[in-house]
Amino acid sequence: MKLVQWVTIIVSVGILTGINYLLEENINPYVIRVVVNCGIGMILAMSLNLVNGCAGQFSLGHAGFMGVGAYTSAAITTVLALSPFFKTDMGVGCAIVIGGLAAALAGYLVGLPSLRLKGDYLAIVTLGFGEIIRIIFLNIEEVGGARGLPGIPPKANFFWVYLWVVITFVALLRLLRSSYGRAILSVRENEIAAESMGINVARYKVVAFVISSFFAGIAGGLFAHFQSFIDPNSFVFNKSVEAVIMVVIGGMGSLSGAILGGIIVTVLPELLRIFEQYRMVIFPLILIVLMLVRPMGLLGHKEIWELFRKKASS
């Protein structure tokens, strides 16, 4: 890695630590909660964007993979209690990564057979898998079954969540700006042409799905260790729909769009609390209007900095 990159890493860790300190000292817990949930939403949206936006597949079971990450990491830091190490910051960090890997494995097992399907069929099958995963957790008594799993060490604070936001963003951006990324995008653009140019379409659909599931699992692990309690209802179908909404309103295929989507879908319902019981009428109305005005999402296929560059040059 170049010196610039090292400097960037050190500076961003410094900034995150600083904000983390300020938040924890001075800001009320409700705001912290919303800000952290935004971060988790961003990771979820960026990861789903790889499948739904970049590879052009329609997955509707993302909450399932988030659940795998959450339950795996939480099981490691609570019920399994392999060693006291898993109660420390570093230990929880490792558990969350293991949760991500477990989600990636689940993504591989689900993706391999189902990615042969297209469009609506794929959406239905992934929806089904998402529900199956949830029902499996519902029936494992060791992780609390329907009662849920309490007492998870609450180690995922602003710092850790936003560190993962940065990691997810950089990793996915680099993936997309590589030959592998072009292969994934070519699948979205035209499967037959991609195959004819030597791209193993089936493989790159699975690759996108596995990488996406990994980061969804990370989001799940962070969620578990932020809430310090999870139950199967945390990962219902609605959560998958929410992730899809984030990607769609941000702009399919745009990473910065996914970040924007993650923020909007998390913050908007909070801001709408002033409308009390009408909140859940107004929120969808805003989404509908947004889709009518900008059907391609806020940023379309573009990244936010590309929008400005375009304006500057023309």
Partner 1 sequence: MTALDQNLIGGDFKIDALSISFGGLKAVNQFSLHLKPMELQGLIGPNGAGKTTCFNLVTGVYQPDSGTMVLNGRSLVGLEPHEIAKAGIARTFQNIRLFGDLTVLENVMVSYHMNVDYGYFELFLRTPRYYRIEKEFRDKATELLKVMGLETRKEDKAKSLPYGDQRRLEIARALATHPKVLLLDEPAAGLNTQEKAALMGTIANIRNLFKTTILLIEHDMKLVMGICEKITVLDHGDIIAVGTPREIQDNPKVIEAYLGVG
Which residues are near partner 1 by CB under 8 A?
1-2, 5, 171, 174-175, 178-180, 182-183, 185-186, 188-190, 192-201, 253, 301
Q: How distant, in Å, are the alpha carbons of 27, 125, 255 from that of 120?
A: 44, 9, 24
Question: Which among 162, 135, 149 is positioned nearest to 77, based on CA atoms?
Answer: 149
Q: How far is the CB of 198 from partner 1 (least distance, A)?
A: 4
φ, ψ at 230 (rounded to 5°): -135, 150
Q: Which two tokens stand for residue 230?
A: 């999870």
CA angle, corner 187, sides to 257 and 101, nearest 5? 70
**What's the min distance (Å) between Cβ of 86 and partner 1?**
26
Q: Which is nearer to partner 1, 34 or 175 (CB)?
A: 175
Measure Cα distances from 105 to 63, 75, 91, 129, 232 in Å: 15, 17, 21, 14, 20
We find the least distance from the C-beta atom of residue 241 to partner 1, in angstroms, to be 26
- Least Å distance, CB 122 to partner 1, is 20
Minimum CB distance to partner 1, residue 301 (Å) = 5
Which one, 46 or 230, has the nearer CB to partner 1?
A: 46
Between 2 and 273, name the residue whose CB sits nearer to partner 1.
2
CB of 35 to partner 1, least distance (A): 27
Closest distance of CB 199 from partner 1, Å: 6
Nearer to partner 1, 4 or 293 (CB): 4
Query: Cα–Cα distance between 48 and 55 in angstroms, integer?
Result: 10
The owner of tokens 């391609």 is: 296
Which residues have a Cβ under 8 Å from the Cβ of 19 and sit 6 or more positions away?
Answer: 158, 162
User: Residue 238 contacts by C-beta under 8 Å, 6 or more apart in sequence?
Assistant: 63
CA distance 63 to 132: 11
Nearer to partner 1 (CB atom), residue 54 or residue 96: 54
Nearer to partner 1, 161 or 207 (CB): 207
Taking each helix axis as running N to C, give the angle between helix 237-250 and helix 62-77, from 0 to 180 degrees, rounded to the nearest 10.
120
Which is nearer to partner 1, 24 or 189 (by Cβ)?
Answer: 189
* Contacts for 138 with CB less than 8 Å, ≥ 6 apart: 145, 146, 232
